[in-house]
Chains A and B, each alone.
Chain A
Amino acid sequence: MRLDPGVITDSWPLFVEGTLVTIQLSVLSFLLGLALAVPVAALSMSRHGVFRGSAMVYLAILRGIPFIALVFIVHYGTAASGARTPAFWSGVIALTLFASAYYSEVIRSTISALPPGQWDSGRVVGMSRLQTLRYIIVPQSLGSMIPPGVNVTIMMIKESSVISAITVGELTYQGLVVQGNTFAPFEVFITIALIYWGITLGVSRLGDRVERRIGRLQKSGRPTGGIAARYLTLTASKPVQ
Protein backbone atom coordinates (compact mmCIF):
# COMPACT_ATOMS: atom_id res chain seq x y z
CA MET A 1 0.00 0.00 0.00
CA ARG A 2 1.28 3.45 -0.86
CA LEU A 3 0.45 6.37 1.41
CA ASP A 4 0.47 9.86 0.00
CA PRO A 5 1.38 12.38 2.71
CA GLY A 6 0.62 15.19 0.31
CA VAL A 7 -3.10 14.53 0.79
CA ILE A 8 -2.74 15.69 4.40
CA THR A 9 -0.08 18.36 4.08
CA ASP A 10 -1.95 20.11 1.26
CA SER A 11 -5.20 20.26 3.25
CA TRP A 12 -3.97 20.83 6.77
CA PRO A 13 -5.85 24.12 7.28
CA LEU A 14 -9.09 22.21 6.81
CA PHE A 15 -8.10 19.67 9.44
CA VAL A 16 -7.13 22.42 11.86
CA GLU A 17 -10.40 24.23 11.30
CA GLY A 18 -12.37 20.99 11.72
CA THR A 19 -10.53 20.17 14.93
CA LEU A 20 -11.32 23.58 16.38
CA VAL A 21 -15.02 23.22 15.53
CA THR A 22 -15.09 19.74 17.08
CA ILE A 23 -13.52 21.13 20.24
CA GLN A 24 -16.01 24.00 20.34
CA LEU A 25 -18.92 21.59 19.89
CA SER A 26 -17.58 19.30 22.59
CA VAL A 27 -16.77 21.97 25.16
CA LEU A 28 -20.14 23.70 24.76
CA SER A 29 -22.05 20.43 24.93
CA PHE A 30 -19.99 19.29 27.90
CA LEU A 31 -20.81 22.43 29.89
CA LEU A 32 -24.45 22.67 28.83
CA GLY A 33 -24.99 18.90 29.08
CA LEU A 34 -23.63 18.84 32.60
CA ALA A 35 -25.73 21.84 33.59
CA LEU A 36 -28.84 20.13 32.23
CA ALA A 37 -27.90 16.78 33.79
CA VAL A 38 -28.05 18.14 37.35
CA PRO A 39 -31.80 18.95 37.32
CA VAL A 40 -32.53 15.75 35.38
CA ALA A 41 -30.66 13.71 38.01
CA ALA A 42 -32.49 15.62 40.77
CA LEU A 43 -35.82 14.75 39.16
CA SER A 44 -34.86 11.10 38.78
CA MET A 45 -34.09 10.92 42.51
CA SER A 46 -37.16 12.85 43.62
CA ARG A 47 -39.54 11.43 46.20
CA HIS A 48 -42.45 12.36 43.95
CA GLY A 49 -43.46 9.83 41.33
CA VAL A 50 -44.46 12.44 38.76
CA PHE A 51 -40.97 13.96 38.75
CA ARG A 52 -39.27 10.57 38.66
CA GLY A 53 -41.57 9.49 35.83
CA SER A 54 -40.82 12.55 33.72
CA ALA A 55 -37.08 12.03 34.16
CA MET A 56 -37.49 8.38 33.14
CA VAL A 57 -39.33 9.36 29.96
CA TYR A 58 -36.63 11.92 29.12
CA LEU A 59 -33.85 9.35 29.61
CA ALA A 60 -35.70 6.58 27.78
CA ILE A 61 -36.19 8.77 24.71
CA LEU A 62 -32.67 10.18 24.56
CA ARG A 63 -30.94 6.89 25.21
CA GLY A 64 -33.27 4.91 23.02
CA ILE A 65 -32.83 6.69 19.70
CA PRO A 66 -29.73 6.77 17.49
CA PHE A 67 -27.79 10.00 17.78
CA ILE A 68 -28.01 10.69 14.06
CA ALA A 69 -31.81 10.63 14.29
CA LEU A 70 -31.66 13.08 17.20
CA VAL A 71 -29.42 15.40 15.16
CA PHE A 72 -31.84 15.43 12.21
CA ILE A 73 -34.89 15.79 14.43
CA VAL A 74 -33.41 18.79 16.24
CA HIS A 75 -32.13 20.46 13.09
CA TYR A 76 -35.12 19.95 10.80
CA GLY A 77 -37.60 20.03 13.66
CA THR A 78 -36.55 23.53 14.66
CA ALA A 79 -36.53 24.54 10.99
CA ALA A 80 -40.08 23.24 10.54
CA SER A 81 -41.24 25.20 13.55
CA GLY A 82 -40.03 28.39 11.87
CA ALA A 83 -36.85 28.93 13.88
CA ARG A 84 -33.82 29.09 11.65
CA THR A 85 -31.23 27.54 13.87
CA PRO A 86 -27.74 27.56 12.39
CA ALA A 87 -26.47 24.02 11.88
CA PHE A 88 -23.72 24.51 14.45
CA TRP A 89 -26.25 25.35 17.15
CA SER A 90 -28.52 22.47 16.15
CA GLY A 91 -25.47 20.30 16.67
CA VAL A 92 -24.80 21.81 20.09
CA ILE A 93 -28.43 21.30 21.13
CA ALA A 94 -28.51 17.67 19.99
CA LEU A 95 -25.17 16.86 21.62
CA THR A 96 -26.20 18.63 24.83
CA LEU A 97 -29.43 16.62 25.07
CA PHE A 98 -27.54 13.42 24.35
CA ALA A 99 -24.82 14.17 26.93
CA SER A 100 -27.30 15.33 29.59
CA ALA A 101 -29.01 11.93 29.58
CA TYR A 102 -25.77 10.05 30.18
CA TYR A 103 -24.29 12.57 32.64
CA SER A 104 -27.48 12.53 34.69
CA GLU A 105 -27.27 8.76 34.96
CA VAL A 106 -23.65 9.06 36.10
CA ILE A 107 -24.74 11.51 38.80
CA ARG A 108 -27.74 9.45 39.88
CA SER A 109 -25.95 6.12 40.01
CA THR A 110 -22.91 7.50 41.85
CA ILE A 111 -25.07 9.18 44.46
CA SER A 112 -27.27 6.16 45.01
CA ALA A 113 -24.18 3.98 45.42
CA LEU A 114 -23.39 5.73 48.72
CA PRO A 115 -24.51 3.82 51.82
CA PRO A 116 -28.04 5.01 52.80
CA GLY A 117 -26.68 5.57 56.31
CA GLN A 118 -24.90 8.65 54.99
CA TRP A 119 -28.27 10.26 54.27
CA ASP A 120 -29.62 9.26 57.67
CA SER A 121 -26.53 10.58 59.43
CA GLY A 122 -27.08 13.99 57.90
CA ARG A 123 -30.76 13.98 58.81
CA VAL A 124 -30.26 13.00 62.48
CA VAL A 125 -28.07 15.99 63.20
CA GLY A 126 -30.89 18.19 61.92
CA MET A 127 -29.77 18.86 58.35
CA SER A 128 -32.38 19.21 55.64
CA ARG A 129 -32.25 16.98 52.57
CA LEU A 130 -30.62 19.78 50.62
CA GLN A 131 -27.99 20.41 53.30
CA THR A 132 -27.27 16.69 53.53
CA LEU A 133 -26.84 16.62 49.76
CA ARG A 134 -24.58 19.64 49.79
CA TYR A 135 -22.33 18.82 52.74
CA ILE A 136 -22.40 15.02 52.92
CA ILE A 137 -23.47 13.39 49.70
CA VAL A 138 -22.06 15.46 46.85
CA PRO A 139 -18.53 15.96 48.22
CA GLN A 140 -18.27 12.20 48.69
CA SER A 141 -19.62 11.41 45.24
CA LEU A 142 -17.64 13.87 43.11
CA GLY A 143 -14.48 11.78 43.00
CA SER A 144 -16.26 8.63 41.92
CA MET A 145 -18.29 10.52 39.31
CA ILE A 146 -15.16 11.31 37.33
CA PRO A 147 -14.23 7.96 35.73
CA PRO A 148 -17.75 7.27 34.36
CA GLY A 149 -18.06 10.98 33.54
CA VAL A 150 -14.87 10.80 31.46
CA ASN A 151 -16.31 7.79 29.63
CA VAL A 152 -19.42 9.74 28.71
CA THR A 153 -17.34 12.73 27.64
CA ILE A 154 -15.19 10.59 25.36
CA MET A 155 -18.26 8.95 23.87
CA MET A 156 -19.78 12.39 23.33
CA ILE A 157 -16.68 13.72 21.57
CA LYS A 158 -16.70 10.77 19.17
CA GLU A 159 -20.44 11.03 18.60
CA SER A 160 -19.96 14.67 17.60
CA SER A 161 -18.67 13.32 14.27
CA VAL A 162 -22.29 12.51 13.41
CA ILE A 163 -23.04 16.23 13.35
CA SER A 164 -21.20 16.34 10.01
CA ALA A 165 -24.47 15.02 8.58
CA ILE A 166 -26.06 18.48 8.91
CA THR A 167 -23.05 20.17 7.26
CA VAL A 168 -21.41 21.52 10.39
CA GLY A 169 -17.76 22.01 9.46
CA GLU A 170 -16.29 19.89 12.21
CA LEU A 171 -13.45 17.41 11.89
CA THR A 172 -15.30 14.56 10.19
CA TYR A 173 -17.03 16.94 7.78
CA GLN A 174 -13.70 18.48 6.75
CA GLY A 175 -12.30 14.99 6.32
CA LEU A 176 -15.13 14.10 3.98
CA VAL A 177 -14.41 17.30 2.00
CA VAL A 178 -10.73 16.46 1.69
CA GLN A 179 -11.61 12.92 0.72
CA GLY A 180 -13.93 14.23 -1.96
CA ASN A 181 -11.12 16.34 -3.40
CA THR A 182 -8.34 13.80 -3.19
CA PHE A 183 -10.04 10.37 -3.36
CA ALA A 184 -7.68 9.23 -0.60
CA PRO A 185 -10.01 7.94 2.14
CA PHE A 186 -7.38 5.88 3.92
CA GLU A 187 -4.97 8.74 4.55
CA VAL A 188 -7.81 11.07 5.47
CA PHE A 189 -9.51 8.80 7.98
CA ILE A 190 -6.27 7.66 9.59
CA THR A 191 -5.50 11.32 10.20
CA ILE A 192 -8.97 12.02 11.58
CA ALA A 193 -8.80 8.97 13.81
CA LEU A 194 -5.47 10.12 15.22
CA ILE A 195 -6.83 13.58 15.97
CA TYR A 196 -9.93 12.21 17.76
CA TRP A 197 -7.70 9.83 19.65
CA GLY A 198 -5.45 12.69 20.72
CA ILE A 199 -8.39 14.75 21.96
CA THR A 200 -9.96 11.89 23.91
CA LEU A 201 -6.60 10.90 25.36
CA GLY A 202 -6.19 14.44 26.63
CA VAL A 203 -9.66 14.35 28.20
CA SER A 204 -8.94 11.06 29.88
CA ARG A 205 -5.61 12.30 31.27
CA LEU A 206 -7.30 15.43 32.57
CA GLY A 207 -9.95 13.29 34.26
CA ASP A 208 -7.29 11.20 35.97
CA ARG A 209 -5.58 14.31 37.28
CA VAL A 210 -8.79 15.82 38.65
CA GLU A 211 -9.72 12.52 40.28
CA ARG A 212 -6.33 12.17 41.92
CA ARG A 213 -6.48 15.75 43.11
CA ILE A 214 -9.87 15.27 44.74
CA GLY A 215 -8.69 12.08 46.40
CA ARG A 216 -5.54 13.74 47.69
CA LEU A 217 -7.43 16.74 49.00
CA GLN A 218 -9.87 14.62 50.91
CA LYS A 219 -7.21 12.38 52.38
CA SER A 220 -4.89 15.12 53.51
CA GLY A 221 -7.65 17.49 54.53
CA ARG A 222 -5.18 20.30 53.95
CA PRO A 223 -6.14 21.94 50.69
CA THR A 224 -4.34 24.95 49.40
CA GLY A 225 -6.59 25.60 46.45
CA GLY A 226 -9.63 27.70 45.74
CA ILE A 227 -13.31 27.49 46.49
CA ALA A 228 -13.76 24.01 45.01
CA ALA A 229 -11.00 22.57 47.15
CA ARG A 230 -12.34 24.25 50.26
CA TYR A 231 -15.81 22.95 49.48
CA LEU A 232 -14.61 19.37 49.14
CA THR A 233 -12.93 19.34 52.51
CA LEU A 234 -15.08 21.91 54.28
CA THR A 235 -12.10 23.62 55.84
CA ALA A 236 -14.25 26.68 56.36
CA SER A 237 -15.63 24.80 59.34
CA LYS A 238 -12.19 24.66 60.92
CA PRO A 239 -11.20 27.24 63.46
CA VAL A 240 -8.43 29.64 62.62
CA GLN A 241 -5.49 28.84 64.83
Chain B
Amino acid sequence: MTQPDLSLRATALRREVGGLRILDDIYLDVPKGQAVCILGPSGSGKSSLLRALALLDPLADGFVTIDGQAFGRELSRDGIVRRQSQREVDRIRARIGFVFQDFSLWPHLDVRANISLAQRVVLQRPADEIANATDRIMDRLSIAALADKHPGQLSGGQKQRVAVARALVLNPALMLFDEPTSALDPELVGDVLALLVDLKREGMTTLTVTHEMSFARRLADRVIFLERGQIVADGCPQDVIDTPSDPRVKRFFSLF
Protein backbone atom coordinates (compact mmCIF):
# COMPACT_ATOMS: atom_id res chain seq x y z
CA MET B 1 0.00 0.00 0.00
CA THR B 2 2.84 2.36 -0.81
CA GLN B 3 2.17 5.75 -2.34
CA PRO B 4 5.44 6.75 -3.98
CA ASP B 5 4.14 10.15 -5.01
CA LEU B 6 3.12 11.06 -1.46
CA SER B 7 5.52 12.70 0.97
CA LEU B 8 3.14 12.37 3.82
CA ARG B 9 -0.03 10.55 4.61
CA ALA B 10 -1.84 10.99 7.91
CA THR B 11 -4.71 8.65 8.62
CA ALA B 12 -7.27 9.17 11.38
CA LEU B 13 -4.94 11.06 13.70
CA ARG B 14 -6.40 11.59 17.11
CA ARG B 15 -4.74 13.16 20.12
CA GLU B 16 -6.43 13.67 23.46
CA VAL B 17 -5.17 15.50 26.51
CA GLY B 18 -7.21 15.16 29.67
CA GLY B 19 -10.34 14.13 27.78
CA LEU B 20 -10.00 17.09 25.42
CA ARG B 21 -9.63 16.33 21.71
CA ILE B 22 -6.63 18.27 20.46
CA LEU B 23 -6.65 16.50 17.10
CA ASP B 24 -9.88 14.96 15.93
CA ASP B 25 -9.74 12.43 13.13
CA ILE B 26 -7.27 14.12 10.82
CA TYR B 27 -6.80 12.70 7.31
CA LEU B 28 -4.14 14.35 5.19
CA ASP B 29 -2.33 13.38 1.99
CA VAL B 30 0.51 15.62 0.88
CA PRO B 31 2.03 14.93 -2.56
CA LYS B 32 5.74 15.42 -3.11
CA GLY B 33 6.81 19.02 -3.63
CA GLN B 34 3.60 20.57 -2.35
CA ALA B 35 3.79 23.68 -0.15
CA VAL B 36 1.04 23.48 2.46
CA CYS B 37 0.14 26.25 4.86
CA ILE B 38 -1.84 25.42 7.98
CA LEU B 39 -4.04 28.21 9.28
CA GLY B 40 -6.54 28.46 12.06
CA PRO B 41 -7.37 30.28 15.28
CA SER B 42 -5.01 29.85 18.20
CA GLY B 43 -5.68 26.67 20.07
CA SER B 44 -7.10 25.01 16.98
CA GLY B 45 -4.39 22.35 16.97
CA LYS B 46 -2.03 23.67 14.28
CA SER B 47 1.17 23.14 16.22
CA SER B 48 -0.19 19.92 17.70
CA LEU B 49 -0.72 18.63 14.18
CA LEU B 50 2.91 19.30 13.22
CA ARG B 51 4.12 17.65 16.41
CA ALA B 52 1.83 14.70 15.79
CA LEU B 53 3.17 14.25 12.25
CA ALA B 54 6.68 14.02 13.73
CA LEU B 55 5.38 11.68 16.46
CA LEU B 56 6.69 13.99 19.16
CA ASP B 57 3.55 13.50 21.26
CA PRO B 58 1.69 10.27 21.98
CA LEU B 59 -1.30 9.73 19.70
CA ALA B 60 -4.56 8.20 20.84
CA ASP B 61 -5.07 6.77 17.38
CA GLY B 62 -3.99 7.03 13.76
CA PHE B 63 -1.19 6.32 11.37
CA VAL B 64 1.50 8.43 9.77
CA THR B 65 3.37 7.47 6.60
CA ILE B 66 6.48 9.33 5.51
CA ASP B 67 7.58 8.86 1.90
CA GLY B 68 5.54 5.67 1.73
CA GLN B 69 7.15 4.31 4.89
CA ALA B 70 5.00 3.55 7.94
CA PHE B 71 5.99 5.68 10.91
CA GLY B 72 5.26 4.65 14.49
CA ARG B 73 2.71 1.95 13.81
CA GLU B 74 2.17 -0.23 10.81
CA LEU B 75 -0.38 -2.70 9.57
CA SER B 76 0.94 -6.10 8.68
CA ARG B 77 -0.52 -8.05 5.79
CA ASP B 78 -2.93 -9.90 8.06
CA GLY B 79 -4.24 -6.61 9.40
CA ILE B 80 -2.55 -6.63 12.78
CA VAL B 81 -1.21 -3.32 14.08
CA ARG B 82 2.45 -3.51 14.95
CA ARG B 83 4.05 -0.85 17.07
CA GLN B 84 7.51 0.01 15.76
CA SER B 85 10.37 -0.05 18.21
CA GLN B 86 11.57 3.26 19.60
CA ARG B 87 14.72 2.78 17.54
CA GLU B 88 12.81 2.43 14.28
CA VAL B 89 10.70 5.48 15.14
CA ASP B 90 13.81 7.55 15.91
CA ARG B 91 15.39 6.48 12.65
CA ILE B 92 12.38 7.45 10.53
CA ARG B 93 11.99 10.72 12.42
CA ALA B 94 15.30 11.84 10.93
CA ARG B 95 13.45 11.87 7.57
CA ILE B 96 11.40 14.83 8.81
CA GLY B 97 12.95 18.26 9.03
CA PHE B 98 11.35 20.23 11.85
CA VAL B 99 12.00 23.92 12.45
CA PHE B 100 10.66 25.05 15.80
CA GLN B 101 9.08 28.37 16.53
CA ASP B 102 11.94 29.25 18.91
CA PHE B 103 14.46 27.38 16.68
CA SER B 104 15.76 25.35 19.69
CA LEU B 105 19.37 25.53 18.62
CA TRP B 106 21.91 23.89 20.92
CA PRO B 107 23.51 26.75 22.82
CA HIS B 108 26.59 24.80 23.93
CA LEU B 109 27.64 24.05 20.35
CA ASP B 110 28.83 26.40 17.64
CA VAL B 111 26.97 26.66 14.36
CA ARG B 112 29.10 24.04 12.62
CA ALA B 113 28.60 21.55 15.44
CA ASN B 114 24.86 22.30 15.52
CA ILE B 115 24.68 21.32 11.86
CA SER B 116 27.05 18.35 11.98
CA LEU B 117 26.00 16.59 15.22
CA ALA B 118 23.09 14.58 13.83
CA GLN B 119 25.00 13.72 10.66
CA ARG B 120 27.57 12.09 12.89
CA VAL B 121 25.51 10.41 15.60
CA VAL B 122 22.30 9.63 13.69
CA LEU B 123 23.27 9.15 10.04
CA GLN B 124 26.84 8.12 10.93
CA ARG B 125 28.27 9.78 7.85
CA PRO B 126 32.04 9.70 7.50
CA ALA B 127 33.88 12.81 8.71
CA ASP B 128 34.83 14.17 5.29
CA GLU B 129 31.28 13.76 4.03
CA ILE B 130 29.99 15.62 7.11
CA ALA B 131 32.44 18.46 6.49
CA ASN B 132 31.41 18.71 2.83
CA ALA B 133 27.69 18.55 3.47
CA THR B 134 27.97 21.09 6.30
CA ASP B 135 29.98 23.52 4.19
CA ARG B 136 27.59 23.16 1.29
CA ILE B 137 24.46 23.78 3.38
CA MET B 138 26.07 26.76 5.15
CA ASP B 139 26.99 28.30 1.79
CA ARG B 140 23.52 27.73 0.46
CA LEU B 141 21.91 29.45 3.43
CA SER B 142 24.58 32.19 3.54
CA ILE B 143 25.69 31.35 7.07
CA ALA B 144 29.24 30.19 6.30
CA ALA B 145 30.63 33.24 8.09
CA LEU B 146 28.86 32.17 11.28
CA ALA B 147 30.40 28.68 11.46
CA ASP B 148 32.37 29.33 14.65
CA LYS B 149 29.73 31.39 16.42
CA HIS B 150 27.51 30.12 19.20
CA PRO B 151 23.70 30.49 19.03
CA GLY B 152 23.80 33.15 21.75
CA GLN B 153 25.76 35.39 19.37
CA LEU B 154 23.24 35.15 16.52
CA SER B 155 20.25 37.30 15.56
CA GLY B 156 16.81 35.74 15.23
CA GLY B 157 17.03 35.52 11.46
CA GLN B 158 20.46 33.90 11.61
CA LYS B 159 19.25 31.40 14.21
CA GLN B 160 16.43 30.42 11.92
CA ARG B 161 18.80 29.81 9.03
CA VAL B 162 20.95 27.61 11.24
CA ALA B 163 17.85 25.70 12.33
CA VAL B 164 16.84 25.21 8.70
CA ALA B 165 20.38 24.11 7.81
CA ARG B 166 20.44 21.67 10.72
CA ALA B 167 17.27 20.03 9.41
CA LEU B 168 18.01 20.26 5.69
CA VAL B 169 21.48 18.74 5.87
CA LEU B 170 19.92 15.40 6.81
CA ASN B 171 18.12 15.26 3.41
CA PRO B 172 14.61 15.08 4.87
CA ALA B 173 11.61 13.90 2.86
CA LEU B 174 9.67 16.94 4.00
CA MET B 175 10.09 20.04 6.14
CA LEU B 176 7.75 21.20 8.89
CA PHE B 177 7.83 24.85 9.99
CA ASP B 178 6.07 25.90 13.17
CA GLU B 179 5.22 29.60 12.91
CA PRO B 180 8.48 30.54 11.18
CA THR B 181 7.80 34.28 11.38
CA SER B 182 6.46 34.72 14.90
CA ALA B 183 9.84 34.93 16.66
CA LEU B 184 11.28 37.35 14.10
CA ASP B 185 11.13 41.08 13.48
CA PRO B 186 8.43 41.94 10.93
CA GLU B 187 10.94 43.12 8.32
CA LEU B 188 12.40 39.60 8.21
CA VAL B 189 9.13 38.03 7.09
CA GLY B 190 10.12 38.60 3.46
CA ASP B 191 13.40 36.69 4.00
CA VAL B 192 11.59 33.70 5.46
CA LEU B 193 9.15 33.73 2.61
CA ALA B 194 12.02 33.80 0.10
CA LEU B 195 13.64 30.88 1.88
CA LEU B 196 10.47 28.81 1.75
CA VAL B 197 9.84 29.71 -1.89
CA ASP B 198 13.39 28.54 -2.66
CA LEU B 199 12.75 25.23 -0.95
CA LYS B 200 9.55 24.84 -2.93
CA ARG B 201 11.33 25.55 -6.19
CA GLU B 202 13.79 22.78 -5.36
CA GLY B 203 10.92 20.38 -4.95
CA MET B 204 10.89 20.14 -1.17
CA THR B 205 7.58 19.31 0.46
CA THR B 206 6.76 21.83 3.19
CA LEU B 207 4.07 22.15 5.82
CA THR B 208 4.04 25.54 7.47
CA VAL B 209 1.94 26.67 10.40
CA THR B 210 1.48 30.41 10.08
CA HIS B 211 -0.56 33.45 11.05
CA GLU B 212 0.65 35.47 8.08
CA MET B 213 -2.12 35.59 5.49
CA SER B 214 0.17 37.20 2.88
CA PHE B 215 2.61 34.39 3.49
CA ALA B 216 0.00 31.74 2.83
CA ARG B 217 -1.21 33.52 -0.29
CA ARG B 218 2.24 33.81 -1.84
CA LEU B 219 3.74 30.50 -0.80
CA ALA B 220 1.01 27.92 -0.51
CA ASP B 221 -0.15 25.51 -3.18
CA ARG B 222 -2.69 24.47 -0.65
CA VAL B 223 -4.16 25.90 2.53
CA ILE B 224 -5.60 23.85 5.36
CA PHE B 225 -7.81 25.49 7.91
CA LEU B 226 -8.03 23.87 11.32
CA GLU B 227 -10.62 24.48 13.98
CA ARG B 228 -10.98 22.53 17.20
CA GLY B 229 -8.62 19.88 15.96
CA GLN B 230 -10.52 19.27 12.73
CA ILE B 231 -9.73 20.19 9.15
CA VAL B 232 -12.68 22.41 8.19
CA ALA B 233 -11.31 23.72 4.88
CA ASP B 234 -8.72 22.40 2.49
CA GLY B 235 -7.95 23.82 -0.93
CA CYS B 236 -5.99 26.34 -2.93
CA PRO B 237 -5.35 29.68 -1.16
CA GLN B 238 -7.90 31.58 -3.25
CA ASP B 239 -10.69 29.20 -2.34
CA VAL B 240 -9.90 28.90 1.36
CA ILE B 241 -8.83 32.46 2.16
CA ASP B 242 -10.68 34.65 -0.34
CA THR B 243 -13.92 32.81 -0.93
CA PRO B 244 -14.37 30.56 2.07
CA SER B 245 -17.54 28.52 2.17
CA ASP B 246 -17.38 27.25 5.74
CA PRO B 247 -18.92 29.83 8.14
CA ARG B 248 -16.14 29.26 10.75
CA VAL B 249 -13.46 30.02 8.17
CA LYS B 250 -15.45 33.04 6.95
CA ARG B 251 -15.68 34.42 10.47
CA PHE B 252 -11.93 33.96 11.01
CA PHE B 253 -10.89 35.75 7.82
CA SER B 254 -13.37 38.57 8.35
CA LEU B 255 -11.12 39.61 11.26
CA PHE B 256 -8.25 40.48 8.90
Which A residues are closer than 8 A to B by beta carbons? 115, 117-118, 120-121, 123-129, 131, 135-136, 139-140, 218-219, 221, 232-235, 237-240
Contact = CB atoms under 8 A, between A and B. Distances in A.
Interface in B83-113: 86-87, 90-91, 93-98, 100, 102, 104-110, 112-113
Which of A124, A136, A234 counts the most B-chain CB atoms under 10 A from its CB? A124
A126 B91 CA distance: 5
A237 B113 contact: yes
Contacts of A219: 150
Contact of B90 (A126, A136, A239): A126
Given A125-B117, A140-B106, 13 more contacts: A117-B102, A120-B100, A121-B100, A121-B104, A126-B90, A126-B91, A128-B86, A135-B117, A139-B108, A140-B107, A140-B108, A233-B113, A240-B127
B169 to A, nearest CB: 9
A235 B110 CA distance: 10
Contacts of B112: 237-238
Contacts of A235: 113
A238 to B, nearest CB: 6
B110 A128 contact: no
Contacts of B97: 124
Nearest to A236: B120
B127 A239 contact: yes
Nearest to B166: A125
Contact of A127 (B113, B118, B150): B118
B104 A120 contact: yes
Contacts of A238: 112-113, 116
B100 A232 contact: no
B94 A126 contact: yes
Contacts of A124: 54, 56, 93, 96-98, 167
A120 B103 CA distance: 11
Contacts of A139: 108
B130 interface: yes
A127 B102 contact: no
B122 A127 contact: yes
Contacts of B93: 123-126
Contacts of B113: 221, 233-235, 237-238
Given A139-B108, A219-B150, A234-B109, A239 B122 contact: no
B90 A123 contact: yes
Nearest to A219: B150
A117 B167 CA distance: 15
Given A123-B56, A128-B87, A221-B148, A234 B117 contact: yes
Contacts of A115: 102, 104
Contacts of B51: 120
A126 B123 CA distance: 9
A15 to B, nearest CB: 44
Nearest to A232: B108
B122 A125 contact: yes
Nearest to A140: B108
